[in-house]
Amino acid sequence: MTRSLAILGATGSVGTQALDVVARHPGEFELDALSAWRSLHELAALAQTHRPRCVVVPDAASASSIAGLLPARTEVLVGEPGLVEAASAADVVLNAIVGFAGVPATLAALRAGRHLALANKESLIVAADLVEHVRATPGAQLLPVDSEHCAVHQCLAGLSGPDPMRSVRRIILTASGGPFRGKLTEELADVTVADALAHPTWQMGPKITVDCSTLMNKGLEVLEAAALFGVGVGLVDVVVHPQSIVHSMVELVDGSTLAQLNRPDMRLPIAYALGYPARFDDGFGRLTLDEPLELTFEPPDLAAFPCLGLAYEAARLGGTAPAWLNAADECAVEAFLSGTLPWRGIAQVIDATLQRYDDTPCDDIEALLKADMTARGVASGIIESMALSSARP
């Protein structure tokens, strides 16, 4: 049976790979909606190829700028209400929006009882409590697109019994270690943007690639895993695995460790999340094992990569602290990418921002929006004063 599909964040790395998956399985999905916030011309080109029922753009000005480039019958929706409408309407929703802006679409899709393939980590990191609430909606399904969480989901799916989580001793997320694996703190003083963007195993957008270089991506994924699988962060460990072939593991109480393996290819978790419980026969990144394959594991270096520890710290603080962590990271990474903050400054900004966390509980989306804004204000102030003091002779 053909299911209608909304791809939110269609022009990004996950969005375009999802369109590739969809194109391989004609008849499985009918494109209902595509959204983009910045790459409007790319969005229009995708709409010409895939002919969705509607597209979603940020505002009225964007809508009029692409109106003439769209197929005649494609409707244009605008802003957050447009995203919420698109996320509520389709049978299957892929939320690949970058950052905090993706939260309302997640809540809308689950509230409407949709099958949600979630690539927007922030929904689970900053809005865990709110997502938990709407996940109980009849029909709602939440499938992780993040490769590590997709791996854990697959490991857990193999456990039987009334409460399979009782057999779990811990979840072990693997990290590639990024481009600076093995470097010491002092060797990381003047890394450039190009260095940070040279990820050894995965091709991704710039924000997440920088987050991989600081291990903040893994820190955010610890919070994501805790929310997704309903465990405390104390049950989520991280191990560095530079080959990125074991995508994560689950250790059971009897001493068994389950793992999911394939060569890095985001189309596998995307296809898993879109098709679940069915599997497609694409063989993305399959292991032929016809030549030697070495897999290594090592503990993360928390001194050279303090961002990982800061994520656990935010989880310990609770309330809206994860929103503060996320906002501070977004500001710091943006400042790093624009050349106003050194790489090691990213962790310093996040640390200093968390130290000013105000203990606000996470009651509703308004509280989150306020926490996000407050934390951004604090982080921007810290970035500015750091830039000033480093400019002084």
Q: What is each CA distance from 308 to 195, 221, 300, 301, 345, in whole angstroms? A: 20, 10, 9, 9, 14
133 vs 170 by CB, closer to Mg ion: 170
For the chain, where are the alpha helices, taking DSSP H only? 13-23, 40-50, 60-66, 79-89, 103-111, 122-126, 128-135, 147-157, 193-197, 206-214, 216-229, 267-275, 306-317, 321-337, 343-354, 365-391
CB of 17 to Mg ion, least distance (A): 14
Strand partners, 261: 246
Closer by beta carbon to Mg ion, 63 or else 145: 145
Q: Which is nearer to Mg ion, 146 or 251 (CB)?
A: 146
| Minimum distance of Mg ion from residue 225's CB (angstroms) | 10
Helix (H, G, I), strand (E, B) or coil at 250: strand
Tell me how far, at minimum, the Cβ of 221 lies from Mg ion, in Å. Answer: 6
The residue (of 221 and 251) whose beta carbon lies closer to Mg ion is 221
Looking at beta carbons only, is 13 or 353 nearer to Mg ion? 13
Least Å from the CB of residue 305 to Mg ion = 16
By beta-carbon proximity to Mg ion, the closer residue of 121 and 376 is 121
Strand partners, 236: 171
Least gap, CB of 269 to Mg ion (angstroms): 9
Q: How far is the CB of 171 from Mg ion (least distance, A)?
A: 13
Q: Toward Mg ion, which CB reaches closer, 148 or 301? A: 148
Residue linked to tokens 């995307």 = 270
Query: CA 10, CA 47: separation in Å to the nearest integer?
Result: 10
> Which of 147/262 has CB closer to Mg ion?
147
Q: What's the rounded Cα separation, in Å, for the pair 372 and 312?
A: 18
- CA 196 vs. chain centroid, Å, equals 18
The least distance separating Mg ion from the CB of residue 34, rounded to whole angstroms, comes to: 23
Residue 121 CB, nearest distance to Mg ion (Å)?
8
Closest CA to 238 of 246, 392, 267, 230: 246
Report strand pairing: 257-261 vs 246-252: antiparallel
How would DSSP label each residue in 41-65? Answer: HHHHHHHHHH--SEEEESSHHHHHH
Footprint of Mg ion (CB under 5 A): 146-148
Sort strands 236-240 and 168-175 into parallel, antiparallel or unpaired: parallel
Residue with nearest beta carbon to Mg ion = 146
